[in-house]
Structure 1
């Protein structure tokens, strides 16, 4: 459907099933969507609910960008708030061509895709496969055993994973087939412990960095990792990608990105290009720069949004959700490093609610990635002389209960 719509000049906005009608209406209004495809009845109706944009509505508003709008993808964005990215046909083709050249992906190769097709990680693979005329093995979700079997059965050469998926493959005892040349790992930082395990086990790991706003990756390792980079190094930029800042005496700055795969802008009802861009540049919330060898280094984020299991999670949002729990007087959310998921959240709190009851309350109030994995009740949160939270002391409490379920 995505490829066919792009061919006739229409754009697709995929979304996950189960969204309530009010959420769909808001999504449709925010993007100017005109048609909804209902797979249950196999009908296309002008309901105003977002799914697919009709041919007449697929062009961008007046502006310097002449390429037809082809894909709209929802992302949590650097601020933690939901946004929808507008990608043109030229964005998608530029990205696919650059990635295929960098990874040597051609017509004789096989890419296994187990990433969701409602996110750019999975959707980008569709365009790489089509452009290369290669073979695609498409999985409905990720199952470590099924992926391990199909890697061998179909002599897969390329696969994309987020770190938790890689961790599950390793835990399953899966062995990389001789055909496998590239395991792209992105979506969040790959922790050294997990990377080392994968390298020792013979998996050809390539680090990658990108985002929905750039139609997937913009930098990738030159070759499969022989050791784990300790300085946030990813690899060289893809052809055509520009970063306007370098590491300097003041340390890394926010990454500003420009290139042919950069989005037309964030969606708006009129589909005007340029929203979210600064004179053609996109300012990310990631801190980093280019080193002396021209490799991209990403060393952290400029805000409080963390990537957990491939999802952008705002600590401010989680804090707000937890504070409405009955029997909780005060709390602080601490993010501890996790070798598989990137981070795990621990809540240190005071109040009458016991830890098991708080955990049960969270099961129904927070999504999986937002949900704390451990709880530590204290008599009162420690404070500094200034009256602010003593973050060091609070973190020490979190570490006491940081193993979590």
Structure 2
């Protein structure tokens, strides 16, 4: 059995460097397994610090998208398989730039992949948040070949243009994951010359394991009859630690992990992720996938971000509502523009915000947005019979 060492991080390069050193030692079997914690998080509960199997190198916590966060056991063998498969897909081993929180799986993977290449990662100072100018400056200083971003960061870098965009173009590959992004953003980045690679995965698969819709070497993707995605192979975690539900434990099936995401195969054999099963909105007896409505909104001029949720309604069960981010937008005009093509899935209201509420490494906080929109729109929605 192996000891577990909590490793606090605060967004500083120094904390990231310490985590990288301890995680690399754990990967080589020369130290305790690491349990990174984020800024302001309390010390881990005692049950998370009990010894683990010798092969476990790290314990990471999920962002709690569907409930309480869970602690995931990541074997050294799975982390190595992920690093090797990533290198085979995107290019030779090289230095990585860390622009994500180090305690999340995507940030930890940046540190480990750079260590795997024999070059310490260059880490941004994130204590004051992500700044495009700081990203560009560090890119030039570090000579990094790879980085990982979430969509909100990519949007800000593209909007900055100039030297920032030049820095983004200089990478061998820019991995984009952590949250759903729209086709328009992909096209915009690639048209600007950004070597973008879209990724899909989660803490339970050591981060991204499907790149540009195709599984990495050693990774399998299966779809259940209802469209549920099942990921399998060498990068799957060893399970959860601590108190989790029986349903959560049952998600691990041998060498597979049954996700809560819905998917479909595109005509060219790529995996298209349609959204989370528990995000589906049931309105008037019909199922509405938020991603479908979000794509329609994002196709409208000036819309940079969109998030769709269902707010409670006594007659319909839920009403479809949306929040968008962009300059000079009119919510009612957007609603009218997308309604003809969406039918019953059309949003009942579209609210323009300065920013979407976020959680984790940049995923929209649907629960917080649902509460906000229910409070701000609920009365007017429930007072109308318009569909």
TM-score range, shorter chain: 0.5 to 0.7
Residue pair 1:254, 1:288 contacting (<8 A) in 2 also? yes
Unaligned runs of 5+ in 1: 35-52, 60-66, 222-233, 321-329, 350-354, 385-389, 394-405
2:179 is matched with which residue: 172, 188, 191? 188
Residue 334 of structure 1 deviates from its aligned partner by 2.8
State the alpha-carbon separation in 1 of the partners of residues 202 and 267 from structure 2.
24
Residue 181 of structure 1 deviates from its aligned partner by 1.8
Residue pair 1:110, 1:157 contacting (<8 A) in 2 also? yes
State the alpha-carbon separation in 2 of the partners of residues 69 and 339 from structure 1.
44
The number of residues matched between the two structures is: 298
Residue pair 1:70, 1:87 contacting (<8 A) in 2 also? yes
After superposition, residues 139-288 of structure 1 pair within 5 angstroms as: 139-141=124-126, 142-173=130-161, 174-177=164-167, 179-221=170-212, 234=213, 236-245=214-223, 253-268=227-242, 276-288=251-263
Give the TM-score normalised by structure 1. 0.63
After superposition, residues 284-323 of structure 1 pair within 5 angstroms as: 284-291=259-266, 293-304=268-279
State the alpha-carbon separation in 2 of the partners of residues 86 and 299 from structure 1.
27
**C-alpha distance 380-294 of structure 1, shift in aligned 2 (>3 A):** closer
Other structure's SS at 2:242 match: coil
After superposition, residues 5-404 of structure 1 pair within 5 angstroms as: 5-6=26-27, 7-20=29-42, 24=43, 27-29=44-46, 32-34=47-49, 57-59=51-53, 68-77=55-64, 79-106=66-93, 109-141=94-126, 142-173=130-161, 174-177=164-167, 179-221=170-212, 234=213, 236-245=214-223, 253-268=227-242, 276-291=251-266, 293-304=268-279, 334-336=321-323, 369=365, 370-371=368-369, 375-376=376-377, 378-379=379-380, 381-382=382-383, 393=387
Tell which deviates more after alignment, 89-98 or 150-159.
150-159
Residue 161 of structure 1 deviates from its aligned partner by 0.6
Unaligned runs of 5+ in 2: 1-21, 281-289, 295-306, 332-346, 358-362
Residue pair 1:304, 1:314 contacting (<8 A) in 2 also? no
Larger relative helix fraction: 2
Other structure's SS at 2:37 match: coil
State the alpha-carbon separation in 1 of the partners of residues 140 and 165 from structure 2.
9
Runs of 4+ in 1 over 6 A off after TM superposition: 305-308, 313-316, 330-333
Q: Which string of whole-angstrom CA distances, capped at 9 and with x for unpartnered residues, describes residues 83-106 of structure 1?
A: 111111111111111111111132
Residue 192 of structure 1 deviates from its aligned partner by 2.7
Q: Which string of whole-angstrom CA distances, capped at 9 and with x for unpartnered residues, describes residues 250-273 of structure 1?
A: 7x7100111111010111279xx9
Q: Which has the larger radius of gyration?
A: 1
State the alpha-carbon separation in 2 of the partners of residues 137 and 382 from structure 1.
54
State the alpha-carbon separation in 2 of the partners of residues 240 and 290 from structure 1.
19
Tell which deviates more after alignment, 372-381 or 128-137.
372-381
RMSD of Structure 2 on Structure 1 (CA): 4.0
